[in-house]
Amino acid sequence: MLRACVLILYTLPLFTTGLKILGLFSHLGKSHFLVVEPLLLALSEKGHDVTVISFFPQEKPPPRFKDISLKNLSMPGLELMEVDTSGSRRVKYEGVLLIKMFADLTCGPLLSSPQVQNFLKGDLSYDVILVEFFNSNCMMAIVEKVKAPTIALSSCVVMPQWNDHFGNPDNPSYIPVMFMDYSDQLSFLERVENTVMLVFNKLYFNYVMDPDTQKIVNKYVAGVSSIAEVSRNVSLLLTNSHWSLSRPKPYVPNVIEVGGMHLPQHKPLPQNIEKWINESTHGVIYFSMGSMIKGHTFPEEKRNMFLRVFKRLPQRVLWKWESDMPGKPDNIMIQRWMPQYDILCHPNVKAFISHGGMLGTTETVQCGVPALVMPQFGDQFTNAKALEASGGGLIFDFWRDDEETLYNKLKQLLEPSFQQKAKQLSARFKDRPLPPLETAIYWVEYVARHGGAHHMRTAAVGMPLYKYLLLDVIAFLLAVITAILWITYRIVKFVGRKIIGQSIKVKTN
């Protein structure tokens, strides 16, 4: 009893003293915000005061939650993507150019907005800052002004440019660059391409994107030093990944995997969807290309190919589709919106057809449903390869695979053996010391308690490249070995001459 009272008294300050938390999220993609939203709400419900600058304000914010909404700044078209009809490998190389476009179009309007300008004139005393590390360092202007311990969040696997901020290894021999379509088993040519892409992404971000963002920042926010230096001063990175799905990688102590922290307890389905799923004797296939890709952008010949394959299958199909669908078979139900996570966790759902976004991939793994993935852009190629390598799905080449390949791969996913592999992956994904949301909350409070977490940083942070790669050591050792070999050669040559000279004298005598 006494020990329990002491424990309560010891931990009391952690729960009675609410933190002032600032969240900074500058990307227009709704899926990115959906990753961090549950963390922000959970921190508010725990008694912390949470202020969030984003494009996605709460409809009914909790009592301790304050939105600084940028919703009216949304640029038409940035929140929508079309199905890529080219299938060109160029899409992978242009990934970093795409995120620069997002950054350039949003950074200026965001920083110059009355909402942000008024915020910067107000009370800037916060205990901790949460900021997304994605397409630019634009929000570092606000971080510089607030000057509080900062935690970065990544809605996808860690992008190449951020690893250097934490001294995190990113060996291209087995860690694929986010935009590439590789797993962790790379051939020689794949390692060559992966290495080139790693170097290109880092150089482009550091020497093109950051300087351009710095110019925008200087235009709208006075007195900001180097945003690159501010971003390197971040204490911790919470990344939306988990080794069971994204493949094992080495992480330094201040890079924490919290993949799945956005997943709630699944809820009952709408009555019409529940009835449709329950009445399907052979189970249901769920089809969705996420929130950013709209169904009407599907090429007609591809849509008809899927319709013919679905007609051949005994399963029913739930297809997220935003318009009319001519020629739809009776075993397909279409709706503009569907509760994806709740559908995937229904025991009668047997497969998921997806574009490979990180949220949908995480949800299908959590629910133990195998996926057929048709990646389109960004990290979807890497997610698809990782899911396939982990036993949770198959990849369908949207541009090159034909109708029979689609049919055979869906049949393979529906086999009991593949269903079992997906359940095993789900068990590994969920088997953790703490649920991912609780893990994220712990580390936010940890950073606030200790006034930052620079003590968790390795000595690799800020280390010159020649030191990190031991180029000076290698050069020194090569010089020593060369000197030894040269001296040995001279000695052998000298001794050889003496011996030969003596031999000639003996013969002459």
pLDDT tens digit sequence for 128-158: 999 999 988 999 999 999 999 999 999 888 8
Instruction: Give the pLDDT score at 6.
Output: 39
Q: Is residue 82 part of a domain?
A: no
Q: Is residue 462 part of a domain?
A: no
Residue 238 banded pLDDT, cuts 50, 70, 90: very high
Q: What is the mean pLDDT of residues 251-262?
A: 94
Tell me: do 447 and 384 sit in the same domain.
no
Residue 74 banded pLDDT, cuts 50, 70, 90: low
Q: Is residue 3 part of a domain?
A: no
Q: Is residue 189 part of a domain?
A: yes
> Does 52 have pLDDT greater than 90?
yes
In terms of Cβ atoms closer than 10 Å to its own Cβ (0-12, 13-18, 19+), residue 364 is buried
- Please report, for the domain that includes residue 196, its CATH number: 3.40.50.2000
Residue 84 banded pLDDT, cuts 50, 70, 90: low
Element (H, E) at 502: helix 471-508
> Does 498 have pLDDT greater than 80?
no
Q: What is the mean pLDDT of the chain?
A: 87
Q: Is residue 1 part of a domain?
A: no
Instruction: Give the pLDDT score at 218.
Output: 93
Q: What is the mean pLDDT of residues 255-259?
A: 94
CB-hemisphere CA count at 13 Å for 397? Answer: 11
Residue 2 banded pLDDT, cuts 50, 70, 90: very low
Q: Is residue 67 part of a domain?
A: yes
Tell me: do 137 and 112 sit in the same domain.
yes
Q: pLDDT exceeding 90 applies to what percent of the chain?
A: 60
Lowest mean pLDDT among 62-71, 74-83, 211-220, 399-408: 74-83
Residue 322 banded pLDDT, cuts 50, 70, 90: confident
> Does 392 have pLDDT greater than 80?
yes
CA-angle at 325, arms to 321 and 330, nearest 5°: 100
Tell me: do 187 and 325 sit in the same domain.
no
Burial of 16-32, coded b for 16+ CB within 10 Å and e otherwise, reads eeebbbbbbbbbbbebb
> Does 79 have pLDDT greater than 80?
no
The CA-based diameter of the chain, rounded to the nearest angstrom, is 116
Q: What is the CA radius of gyration of the chain?
A: 28
> Does 80 have pLDDT greater than 70?
no
> Does 217 have pLDDT greater than 80?
yes
Tell me: do 168 and 104 sit in the same domain.
yes
Q: Is residue 463 part of a domain?
A: no
Tell me: do 161 and 34 sit in the same domain.
yes
Instruction: Give the pLDDT score at 298.
Output: 78
Query: How far, in Å, CA of 133 to CA of 154, rounded?
Result: 5
Tell me: do 341 and 449 sit in the same domain.
no
> Does 95 have pLDDT greater than 80?
no
> Does 358 have pLDDT greater than 50?
yes
Task: Report the number of distinct structural domains present in the chain.
Answer: 3
Q: What is the mean pLDDT of residues 259-281?
A: 90
Instruction: Give the pLDDT score at 508.
Output: 65
Q: Which residues, 6 or more positions from 456, have their beta carbon under 8 angstroms from its beta carbon? A: 235, 236, 252, 253, 254
Tell me: do 406 and 487 sit in the same domain.
no
pLDDT tens across 415-454, in order? 999 999 999 999 999 999 999 999 999 999 999 999 999 9
pLDDT tens across 11-48, in order? 444 444 689 999 999 988 888 899 999 999 999 999 99
DSSP string, 45-96: HTT-EEEEEES---SS--TTEEEEE-GGGPPTTTT-BPPPSS--THHHHTHH
Tell me: do 307 and 342 sit in the same domain.
yes
Q: What is the mean pLDDT of residues 374-386?
A: 87
Residue 75 banded pLDDT, cuts 50, 70, 90: low
> Does 5 have pLDDT greater than 80?
no
Domain that includes residue 240, residue range? 10-76+90-261+435-456
Instruction: Give the pLDDT score at 82.
Output: 58
Tell me: do 321 and 250 sit in the same domain.
no
pTM of the model: 0.87
Q: Is residue 119 part of a domain?
A: yes
Instruction: Give the pLDDT score at 312.
Output: 92
Query: How far, in Å, CA of 152 to CA of 154, rounded?
Result: 7
Lowest mean pLDDT among 280-294, 300-314, 428-442: 280-294
Instruction: Give the pLDDT score at 36.
Output: 94
Tell me: do 363 and 329 sit in the same domain.
yes
Tell me: do 297 and 235 sit in the same domain.
no
Instruction: Give the pLDDT score at 264.
Output: 85
> Does 169 have pLDDT greater than 80?
yes
Query: How far does CA 186 lie from the centroid of its chain?
Result: 20
Coil, strand, or helix at residue 302?
A: helix
Tell me: do 124 and 202 sit in the same domain.
yes
> Does 77 have pLDDT greater than 50?
no
Query: How far does CA 495 lie from the centroid of its chain?
Result: 65
